[in-house]
């Protein structure tokens, strides 16, 4: 295995681990809220039976609605986890770039919240089909989103747009104030290999206020042939 492939494999595992750990953290929070809400219901019932107070039905309905809400939240988290886990199934496949971008933003949302940053998902309603390596693309997009979060302007909002282009598509992250010429230094070492493997271009434009990721409509393998 070449050195750059070894680094890419290692970084890929680290990425997978980081996302999995974040998801488990989120799920624990869901369990904690469900646990506390049901615990409060139990406390109220015990108090009712001990003191003979009236059971507040409205209160119980509110707590039950909260439990339902967080069960749904947990379900969404697990759906994201499942989609992410299956992104390693095939090395090359046709994906909807809008959906894939939304997935990565959803996976990064906890990290964004910790930094006080809001990630605005692509508003595009129409999908953009692309043949690519989904896992490598998620990794490259994850890196781009993290650089954007570190470099966003005072509004602390990163806007993401996805657009089909002749021969491919682009993802644009805006709302940034990138320190002049520091963009390449902000990228981790594996970025170059990811960009090359995906046949992509990663750059800044718009007066250092945007990151642009250009992707080909069809991935070619190292021999220059169309992907599987």
Partner 1 sequence: MRVLLVDDEIELVSTLAERLAMRDIEAEWTSTAEEALELVRRNRYDLAVLDVKIPRMSGLVLKKKMEEIQPSLHFIFMTGHGSEKDFAQGAAEAGAGFYLVKPVKIELLMERMEEIFRGQGGQE
**Residues at the site binding partner 1, with contacts judged by CB under 8 A:** 21, 24-29, 31-37, 39-40, 43, 47, 66, 70, 113-116
d(CA 158, CA 176) in angstroms, rounded, equals: 7
CB of 188 to partner 1, least distance (A): 19
Closer by beta carbon to partner 1, 47 or else 85: 47
User: Do 159 and 123 form a contact (C-beta atoms < 8 A)?
Assistant: no
Closer by beta carbon to partner 1, 62 or else 228: 62
* DSSP string for residues in 148-202: HHHTB-TT-EEEEEEEEETTEEEEEEESB-PPTT-HHHHS-TTHHHHHHHHT-EE
Closer by beta carbon to partner 1, 107 or else 130: 107
Q: Which helix (H) or strand (E) holds 214?
A: strand 210-216
Closer by beta carbon to partner 1, 23 or else 97: 23
Closer by beta carbon to partner 1, 36 or else 221: 36
d(CA 187, CA 141) in angstroms, rounded, equals: 12
CB of 65 to partner 1, least distance (A): 11
CB of 103 to partner 1, least distance (A): 21
Rg (CA), the chain: 22
Q: Name which of 178, 90, 175, 89 is nearest 131 in CA terms.
A: 90
Closer by beta carbon to partner 1, 39 or else 179: 39
CB of 55 to partner 1, least distance (A): 15
Q: Can you say how many angstroms the Cα of residue 206 is from the centroid of all Cα atoms in its chain?
A: 24
CB of 13 to partner 1, least distance (A): 15
Bridge-based pairing of strands 118-120 and 157-165 is parallel
CB of 40 to partner 1, least distance (A): 5
Tokens of 127: 């999908």
């Amino acid at each position: 295995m070449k050195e750059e492939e070894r680094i890419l494999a290692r970084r890929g595992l680290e990425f997978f681990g980081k996302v999995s750990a974040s998801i488990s953290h989120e799920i624990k929070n869901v369990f904690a809220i469900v646990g506390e809400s049901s615990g409060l219901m139990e406390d109220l019932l015990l108090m009712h039976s001990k003191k003979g107070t009236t059971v507040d039905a409205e209160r119980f309905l509110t707590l039950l609605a909260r439990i339902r809400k967080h069960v749904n939240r947990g379900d969404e988290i697990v759906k994201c986890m499942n989609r992410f886990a299956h992104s390693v199934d095939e090395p090359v496949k046709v994906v909807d770039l809008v959906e894939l971008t939304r997935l990565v933003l959803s996976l990064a949302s906890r990290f964004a919240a910790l930094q006080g940053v809001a990630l605005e998902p692509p508003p595009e309603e129409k999908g953009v089909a692309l043949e690519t390596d989904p896992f490598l693309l998620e990794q490259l997009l994850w890196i781009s989103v993290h650089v954007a979060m570190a470099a966003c302007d005072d509004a602390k909002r990163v806007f993401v747009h996805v657009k089909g282009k002749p021969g491919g598509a682009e993802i644009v992250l805006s709302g940034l104030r990138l320190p002049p010429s520091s963009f390449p230094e902000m990228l981790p070492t594996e970025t170059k290999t990811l960009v090359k493997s995906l046949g992509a271009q990663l750059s800044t434009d718009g007066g250092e206020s945007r990151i642009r990721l250009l992707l080909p409509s069809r991935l070619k393998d190292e021999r220059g042939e169309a992907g599987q």
